[in-house]
Amino acid sequence: MARILVPEQLAPAGLDFLTKAGHDVDVRLGLSAEELLEAVVGAQALIVRSATQVTPELLAAGADLVVVGRAGIGLDNVDVAAATSQGVMVVNAPQSNVLSAAEHSMALLLAQARNVPQAHSALKAGKWERSRWEGVELYGKTLGVIGLGRIGSLVAQRALAFGMHLLAYDPYVSSERARQLGIELAGLDELMARSDFITIHVAKTPETTGLINKALLRKAKPNLRIVNVARGGIVDEADLAEAINEGLIAGAALDVFAKEPMTESPLFALDQVVVTPHLGASTAEAQDKAGVTIAEQVVLALNAEFVPFAVNVSASEASETVRPFLPLAERLGRLLVSLDGGVPDTLEIEYQGQLADYDTRILTLSVLKGVFGGVLDEPVTYVNAPQLAEQHGVDVRETKTSSTQDYVNLITLRGRGHRMSATLAGAKSEPRIVMLDDHTVEVPPASHMLMVRNDDRPGMIGLVTSSLGEVGINISDIHVGRSPQGDAALMVLATDQEVGGELLDQLRKAPGIVSVHAMAG
């Protein structure tokens, strides 16, 4: 029997499941941060929702913790890295609220189209205003879906039932997958120009923060209505209010805001805006699913069984030869997809050397975790990685050969015209990228990297390194090599921070520079 600390409200069905499994369920609501540090001592499991911050200090106090469960999808309040370093498994409930979020998106879509809350408030105030609150039909209108993940796909399916034409912007979805869903893929500018309604279903990242801004809104049709049930901050709220006031678009419906709780906003004064207080997952069914799912995952973890929704699963099933390559395989997947600028339709994975004699399926799963982990708004695990590949129409091809010329073991990925190889080198088995697009290199993979093709002439290294230095970006590693034909050089640099788009554009325009690609690992 384990002690499971539950400092937030959890669905009764989830609590019942834990109790019936024979565990001591310690529900302690309303604890302060200091009280929580005391309460976690001696607990083997901790189950939280979104309010509790699972910090390194809390994890350190919970020295007996085996598992932390997040009853929901997001993990913003859980320090996964600290948990991993402490050997604590982190699990969540990634499918618990997808239906509720999709249905709430449709509810706001309809409420915005038919002015339901405005008419409701007017009538209850004694005003019969039929002509003022005239709406529009969904039938025959174009719905632009930004993000075709699980929730976006569910919204698209429901919109089809209303007879809507569907456009979608998602650089990580293949044309074949979109065709299966009855959706036409489009660029973001085109989607804004053609859509009558837009619904947003992407994760909040540095790239998507402020995605819907003044510049983009000026490309929209004047009858456009925007729905956001994803994350606050993806839509620039000030720019949105200005666009509605100026008549650039017709209205919006928002469930999420850049700062929450949100009780005062220029948007609230606009009749064309419908708002709800982050209700996307607020259904009895979603809360029950989250509670039961997380209870199941925690019990599996406490029983040392396979946990489908573990976020930081260790590769205990891999052989001693394969296991050290798991982090490298995942990082290669991340680097390749960032180099490609999207998920490839065909992903070729080749294992050479001793690796070819072992079961490498878990390595392939690690590659897929890397490919999808940085581009989707949902957790990617060893279990759901193949499903995600199938959903996104990715043809995964694995090949093996026991012969390799220069290395004992080698992993090579190919996709969208790019090719990348890596291995573990030396007595310490340190990761090394040893080939990029047929150029021989030797550089450790890093979180931020640049691949620069340039003419093979003096001064090119200085041009690139000085440009980075002028904006305060340090270079931790650099390797230079010629192409097999010897007509162009390749620089691979690892930097201590992300290189911004403005500097990338500046480098691409510099004389002698053939191409510049930023990679994120």
Residues annotated as part of the active site: 231, 260, 278
Residues forming a β-bridge with 184: 167
Q: Residue 25, CB half-sphere, CA atoms under 13 Å: how many?
A: 23
Q: Which residues contact 408 (CB under 8 A, 6 or more apart)?
A: 353, 354, 423
Beta strand 273-275 pairing with 346-353: unpaired
The label of the residue with tokens 């906003």 reads 265
First to last CA, the chain: 40
Beta strand 24-27 pairing with 89-92: unpaired
On the question of a cis peptide bond just before residue 261, with omega within 30 degrees of 0, the verdict is yes
The vertex-98 CA angle with 93 and 102, nearest 5°, equals 165
Distance CA 62, CA 2 (A): 13
Give the amino acid at 182: G
Distance CA 445, CA 520 (A): 9
Using CA atoms, how far residue 18 sits from 23, 251, 303, in Å, is 6, 46, 12
Identify the sign of the CA torsion 66, 71, 74, 76: negative
The string of DSSP codes covering 470-493 is HTT--EEEEEEEE-TTSSEEEEEE
Residues in the chain: 521
Q: Which residues contact 130 (CB under 8 A, 6 or more apart)?
A: none
Cα 185 from chain centroid (whole Å): 20
Under a CB-based contact definition with an 8 Å cutoff, are residues 91 and 305 in contact?
no
Neighbours of 130 (CB within 10 A): 8
Q: Which residues contact 12 (CB under 8 A, 6 or more apart)?
A: 291
3-state secondary structure of 519: strand
Distance CA 506, CA 515 (A): 11
266 exposure class (CB count in 10 Å sphere: 0-12, 13-18, 19+): middle
Under a CB-based contact definition with an 8 Å cutoff, are residues 167 and 193 in contact?
no
